[in-house]
Amino acid sequence: MILIDELRAEHDVIEEVAGAFLTYAASPAQARDGADGAAFLRFFRLYANHFHHAREEDTLFVALRDRAGLPVDRGPVATMIADHARMAGLLDAVATSLEAGGDAGPGLHESATAYVHALWHHIDAENSVLFPECAPRLRRNGVSDLPSRAMTPDEHEAMIGGRGLVARYPPAAQPDVMRGDGCIMCPAFGVTCRGLELEWWNEWEWDEFEDRMSGG
């Protein structure tokens, strides 16, 4: 499904620029170029939020609800929507730290770390849990493709700007960040979401699973 392939490719870009942003945020305040900080912010606001998250919400999630009959007010989709809102708040905190400029050394490092780690967890959850389930469930309901919109010139420019920053602030390895696949890695698991199987599987999927387990 083209939309899902595109969303995955966008994750790769967002993930890399997020890594570059941590490199930027870790550099000494007096060495930080304010224009680059603004370009990072533009990238996250326009490309990650306005383009990427919005298409997930207004195209993919809407199709899961209306055409695949999946709940969006609880379970994995509700978790992803809540993440988008929470991350927008974390990005506002980043913007405040950036505006405070040179005096906000530890402030920026802290707010950038909180934002980037949330973003990475979110990308892992979508890539490993949500997205693999979307295409087969939509296809079963006769949906083979989901037309979506192109980037606006502003979003495109923000994306190019972000990519340019990756070369200047190479992302460092982050061995202390726990990342991985599956519900078990998701902070919402067992808190606001019971995991994909309990939230999404229907009766015949459970029957099939039990048959397989019992060798039947």
Q: Which is nearer to Fe ion, 37 or 75 (CB)?
A: 75
Q: With contacts defined by CB under 5 A, name the span among 113-121, 124-132, 142-150, 154-162 that binds Fe ion.
A: 124-132
The minimum distance between CB 123 and Fe ion, in angstroms, equals 6
- Which residues in the 37-56 window bind Fe ion by CB under 5 A? 56
Of 15, 36, 124, 126, the one binding Fe ion by CB under 5 A: 126
Question: How many residues lie near Fe ion (CB under 5 A)?
Answer: 3
- Which residues in the 135-194 window bind Fe ion by CB under 5 A? none
Instruction: Based on the shown chain and the rule CB under 5 A, indicate whether residue 15 belongs to the binding site for Fe ion.
Output: no
Q: With contacts defined by CB under 5 A, name the span among 70-78, 121-129, 131-139, 195-203 that binds Fe ion.
A: 121-129
x/- letters, 68..107, toward Fe ion (CB under 5 A): ------------x---------------------------
The minimum distance between CB 53 and Fe ion, in angstroms, equals 5
DSSP the chain: -HHHHHHHHHHHHHHHHHHHHHHHHHS-GGG--HHHHHHHHHIIIIIIIIIIIHHIIIIIIHHHHHTT---SSSHHHHHHHHHHHHHHHHHHHHHHHHHHGGGGHHHHHHHHHHHHHHHHHHHHHIIIIIHHHHHHHHHHTT------PPPPHHHHHHHHHHHHHHHHSPPPP-TTS---SSGGG-TTBTTTB--HHHHH--HHHHHHHHHHHTT-
Q: Which is nearer to Fe ion, 6 or 110 (CB)?
A: 6
- Residue 116 pairs in a beta bridge with none
The minimum distance between CB 215 and Fe ion, in angstroms, equals 38
Burial of 193 (0-12, 13-18, 19+ CB in 10 A): buried
Q: Which is nearer to Fe ion, 32 or 52 (CB)?
A: 52
Q: Which is nearer to Fe ion, 20 or 77 (CB)?
A: 77
Q: Which is nearer to Fe ion, 126 or 155 (CB)?
A: 126
Instruction: Based on the shown chain and the rule CB under 5 A, indicate whether residue 124 belongs to the binding site for Fe ion.
Output: no
User: CA–CA separation, 202 vs 189, rounded Å?
Assistant: 19
Contact 77, 200 (CB under 8 A): no
Interacting residues with Fe ion (CB under 5 A)? 56, 80, 126
